[in-house]
Amino acid sequence: MKEINVLVTGAAGQIGYALLTRLASGETFGPDVKVNLNLVEVPQVVSRLEGSRMELEDCGFNTLGTVKSFSDMNEASGDIDWALLVGSIPRGITINGKKIEERADLLKINGGIFTEQGKALGENAKADAKILVVGNPANTNALIGSTHGNNASQTWMAMTALDANRAKAQVAKKCDLEISDIKKMTIWGNHSPTMYPDLDNAEIKGESASGWINDQNWIENDFLRIVQQRGKAIIDARGASSATSAANAAIDTVKATLIETPEDDWFSAAVLSDGSYSVPEGLIFGFPLKVDANGKVSIVQDLPISDYAQGKIDLTTQELLDEKNDIKDLL
């Protein structure tokens, strides 16, 4: 049986816990692939991963290989094919007596984490490794990690599939459709409330989603507000951030990279900008993406962008430029 080596940081957290069975079960990498899991946590809680290992064993998955626990990223990242970087410091946590509320402080604290993780993966993971950053602020964390990874053959992405799934769900509810009826959903920009879900280039049964809906007031007000603020709404409702849906979106992203993208679709994730759509180079930015038969991820080109959409894209671009400026000393 073929084997794949997968690293998960923040593995003892809620998202990590929700990820592990879906990575190990055969759902993600297929029924003929043995999944070896390297689980990473901070030293204070790494012992909890023994419980996760026992639970995974007790699931009886034929596709489960080894399960190892680490607190050292250099040790964990050796020979890794896929890394899911879930662990990050959340806003509002108290460190050394100081509550972390300001964006600049949050970016710099996480910047130190992703500097070290990037170096470890760049030096020790496989040359063609794919790395998905889930921990927020995901785009700029990915920028820091990829910069210090300094390995152009590896693919770094930040997750925007959660936003894309949220957008599809709202459209399906509005139009009384199946989720599978909605294709080519793009999330432009940052995985934050400034991100822009694009219904002009999304399709419903081969037609423009915005044309199918034919309700610009709903699109510009209800839809945009609900999707952009969904994370906050979930925190307000359950007293904790998205976990199951975030893990699901990470799995969706991994699965999207494992096969050649169908001609009638694409997927959304944030990758290093190459200047496409006039987005400045050197940002990890949400784009429409395709994967070719060799597994190479590339940006879908030449999509029309309305003046309204361009205004929204400019806003999220500026936010990412501001974030990059806040951590310029880490790059």
75-104 residue pLDDT tens: 999 999 999 999 998 766 666 777 666 677
Label residue 99 left, alpha or beta by phi (over 0 means left) and psi (-120 to 50 means alpha): beta
191 is catalytic: yes
CB 49 within 8 A of CB 40: no
Angle at 311 between CA 213 and CA 165, to 5 degrees: 45
CATH number at residue 241: 3.90.110.10
The number of beta carbons lying within 10 Å of the beta carbon of residue 211 is: 11
Taking residues 305-325, what's their average pLDDT? Answer: 97
Q: What share of the chain is helix, strand, coil (3-state, %, to 5)?
A: 45, 20, 35
Interval 23-80: pLDDT, tens: 999 999 999 999 999 999 999 999 999 999 999 999 999 999 999 999 999 999 999 9
Residues 64 and 37: their CA atoms lie apart, in Å, by 8
Residues 115 and 155: their CA atoms lie apart, in Å, by 16
Dihedral sign for Cα 127, 123, 253, 139, please: negative
Q: What is the DSSP string of 105-149?
A: HHHHHHHHHHHHHHHHHHHHS-TT-EEEE-SSSHHHHHHHHHHHH
Number of H helices, E strands in the chain: 12, 16
Taking residues 149-170, what's their average pLDDT? Answer: 98
Final residue belonging to a domain, choices 102, 129, 158:
158
Question: Do residues 130 and 190 share a domain?
Answer: no
Residue 95: CB partners within 8 Å, gap ≥ 6? 89, 109
Question: Do residues 168 and 116 share a domain?
Answer: no
Question: Do residues 112 and 169 share a domain?
Answer: no
> What pLDDT does 20 receive?
98
Question: Do residues 172 and 224 share a domain?
Answer: yes
Catalytic residue among 53, 130, 166, 191: 191
Question: Do residues 37 and 109 share a domain?
Answer: yes
Give the three-state DSSP class for 327: coil
Residues 199 and 210: their CA atoms lie apart, in Å, by 5
CB 159 within 8 A of CB 135: no
Cα–Cα distances (Å) from 295 to 21, 186, 291, 303, in that order, read 24, 20, 6, 22
Question: Do residues 148 and 171 share a domain?
Answer: no
Rounded-to-10 torsion of CA 275, 82, 44, 91: 30
Final residue belonging to a domain, choices 136, 158, 180:
158
Of residues 239 and 255, which shows the higher confidence score? 255
Residue 241 clears pLDDT 90, i.e. is over it: no
> What pLDDT does 209 receive?
97
Strand partners, 196: 188
Give the three-state DSSP class for 309: helix
Question: Do residues 125 and 35 share a domain?
Answer: yes
Question: Do residues 117 and 203 share a domain?
Answer: no
CA-based end-to-end distance of the chain: 41
Question: Do residues 180 and 323 share a domain?
Answer: yes
Final residue belonging to a domain, choices 142, 158, 174:
158
> What pLDDT does 94 receive?
67
Domain containing residue 30 = 2-158
Amino acid at residue number 226: I
Q: How many domains does the chain have?
A: 2
Count of positions (residues) in the chain: 331
CATH number at residue 11: 3.40.50.720
> What pLDDT does 245 receive?
97
Residue 266: CB partners within 8 Å, gap ≥ 6? 184, 186, 288, 289, 290, 300
> What pLDDT does 239 receive?
87
Question: Do residues 102 and 228 share a domain?
Answer: no
Give the three-state DSSP class for 308: helix
Question: Do residues 103 and 216 share a domain?
Answer: no
Question: Do residues 142 and 54 share a domain?
Answer: yes
Place of tokens 């999330």: 187
Taking residues 137-161, what's their average pLDDT? Answer: 97
DSSP secondary-structure letter at 295? -
Residues 217 and 87: their CA atoms lie apart, in Å, by 38
> What pLDDT does 96 receive?
73
